[in-house]
Amino acid sequence: MQELLQMLKSKTEKLHLGGGLDKIQKLKEKGKLTAWERVFLLLDPDTPYVEVGKFAGEGLYAEHGGCPNGGVAVVIGHVSQKLCVIVSNDATVKAGAWFPITAKKTLRAQEIAMENRIPIVYLVDSAGVYLPMQEEIFPDKEHFGRVFRNNAKLSSMGIPQISAIMGSCVAGGAYLPIMSDYALIVEGTGSVFLAGSYLVKSSIGEVIDNETLGGAQTHCEISGVTDNKYPDDESCLQAIRNIVDKFGDQPKANYSRIAPVEPAYGHDFIPTYLPADRLKPYDMREILKALVDAGSMEEYKRDYGKTIICTLARIDGWAVGIVANQREMVKAKKAGNANEMQMGGVIYSDSADKAARFIMNCNQQRIPLVFLQDVTGFMVGSRSEHGGIIKDGAKMVNAMANSVVPKFTFIVGNSYGAGNYAMCGKAYDPRLIYAWPTAQMAVMSGASAGKTLLQIDDAAMKSKGINLDDEARKKRLSTIEEQYNAQLSPYYAAARLWVDGVIDPRETRGIISLGIEAANQNPEIQRYNVGVIQV
């Protein structure tokens, strides 16, 4: 575990270097701050923040030089004591150009602002769409154009948007700041235009420099496109803080919160207790004692459906309902006083039934839900099928998918197959979803997938009249498992924004607290309705 945490720390530190020290130096020579320096100057000092999309783009686009952290920093944090989403382009990564993952990450930031009704701040420093990959970023529904559609939607919802043009802002990207409520610009470095001087010359033959075409003086004094100009990044960021400072308070959802209490177990308990080996059992209740406020757990149906733990609790004072996979082997009572041993991490009919009812209770009582995944899937075999595992699983998925209270998901260990879905995977709209370094996400485990894929390979080879000997089959199995296991990595998931990042388990409590604080800003809670539910 310590090795995994050290790897996480090392990877995180590299993200703040963006495109590298030489690119940062060039940025400094222009009098500009880095993407992260801008974020930290904007945030209230010594207040917690949550990074979203950490490791986005990792390992992607190698043939194009890579796109560390998706070329943009995204955080949720306090600006002038108001919770905001901040989107800060990293000009050290391909001059801030938008790769497909950049668009996906920016859309995620806007989604968070919409879900929680909190202001969003764009610190713009971008050369626009990365042209060599334009077909993967320009035309589709969830591509670049969706950002400007969201600008309009955010405005119609009354959610404040502030943009600071702190570098290039070109072509279609020019609409993002100008569709915001406030558009500020930095003198000398900020510029905004639909077409730069080179394109203007080639298109209409006009010869003009970029500053005259779309610099701070032009847009503040002539066109009125931007509101005010500022001599440097620092003064522009202070202006944003001054604007946010004037925002009035909005109605709240009023989720229950009392004075926080520290957990029963210390800060370092989880890294020393949780086994790094995904096959080893452990007691999830012990993990919970390190996350929830001491003495706050009130477990639901403790002696029934034991492979899922459902409990009311408080985290940093906030009331939550927790749905967590139990990884210990448990003994279940059956009719006739018989006992059945159930495998930890597997969802059985009784545990699915219990979880569905608990989720419905939390929705009726307006209690946010927290899911802790370490799940290998639903129980298989004739006994489970005859017992109706599919309908019980469908009941749980229905209750969870239609949830109207905020949901937060953490992948502690395994996240396989339909277990990922039932425990509120990314497809089920958790407000935030993070993976621990011990997480593994796929349709099934590497060992199971390897054997299954090898059988498919064998059948294909035999159809061609080729029979592999044992040595060849062993080598093929090793290759398949190696490829598959690479895709199980939490960083593989984070690179593609299947999760919002990989975190130290000790960050979990703070993320839940800030996440519920953000959710509390949106008072609109729909009526809970599960529709037709399986019985």
Q: Please write the tens of the pLDDT for every residue from 462-495.
A: 788 888 777 877 887 888 777 778 889 999 999 9
Given a contact cutoff of 8 angstroms between Cβ atoms, the answer to whether 184 and 228 are in contact is yes
pLDDT tens, residue by residue, 209-257? 888 888 899 999 999 999 999 999 999 999 999 999 999 999 999 999 9
Report the pLDDT value the prediction gives residue 208, as an integer from 0 to 100: 86
Instruction: Using pLDDT thresholds of 50, 70 and 90, give the confidence band for residue 269.
Output: very high
Given a contact cutoff of 8 angstroms between Cβ atoms, the answer to whether 430 and 497 are in contact is no
Q: Over 70: is that where the pLDDT of 381 sits?
A: yes
Q: Over 90: is that where the pLDDT of 509 sits?
A: yes
pLDDT tens, residue by residue, 142-176? 898 999 999 999 999 999 999 999 998 887 678 88
CA–CA distance, 506 with 268 (Å, rounded to integer): 7
Report the pLDDT value the prediction gives residue 404, as an integer from 0 to 100: 97
| β pairing state of 318-325 and 330-334 | unpaired
Given a contact cutoff of 8 angstroms between Cβ atoms, the answer to whether 115 and 523 are in contact is no
Dihedral (CA of 497, 498, 501, 502) sign: negative
For the chain, give the percent of residues with pLDDT over 90.
74
Q: Which residue has the tokens 């017992």?
A: 387
Q: How far is CA 21 from CA 75, 77, 180, in A?
A: 22, 26, 32
Report the pLDDT value the prediction gives residue 383, as an integer from 0 to 100: 81
Under DSSP, the state recorded for 220 is I
Q: Residue 92's closest CA among 8, 35, 145, 155? A: 35
Instruction: Using pLDDT thresholds of 50, 70 and 90, give the confidence band for residue 336.
Output: low
Report the pLDDT value the prediction gives residue 130, as an integer from 0 to 100: 87
For the chain, give the percent of residues with pLDDT over 70.
99
Report the pLDDT value the prediction gives residue 148, as an integer from 0 to 100: 92
**What value does the mean pLDDT take over residues 430-447?**
89
Report the pLDDT value the prediction gives residue 442, as an integer from 0 to 100: 87
Q: What average pLDDT does the structure give for the chain?
A: 92
The structure's pTM equals: 0.93
Q: Over 70: is that where the pLDDT of 451 sits?
A: yes
Lowest mean pLDDT among 37-41, 182-186, 215-219: 215-219
Secondary structure (DSSP) of 228-295: EEESSHHHHHHHHHHHHTTPPP-------B------SS-TTHHHHHS-SSTTS---HHHHHHTTSPTT
Q: Over 90: is that where the pLDDT of 398 sits?
A: yes
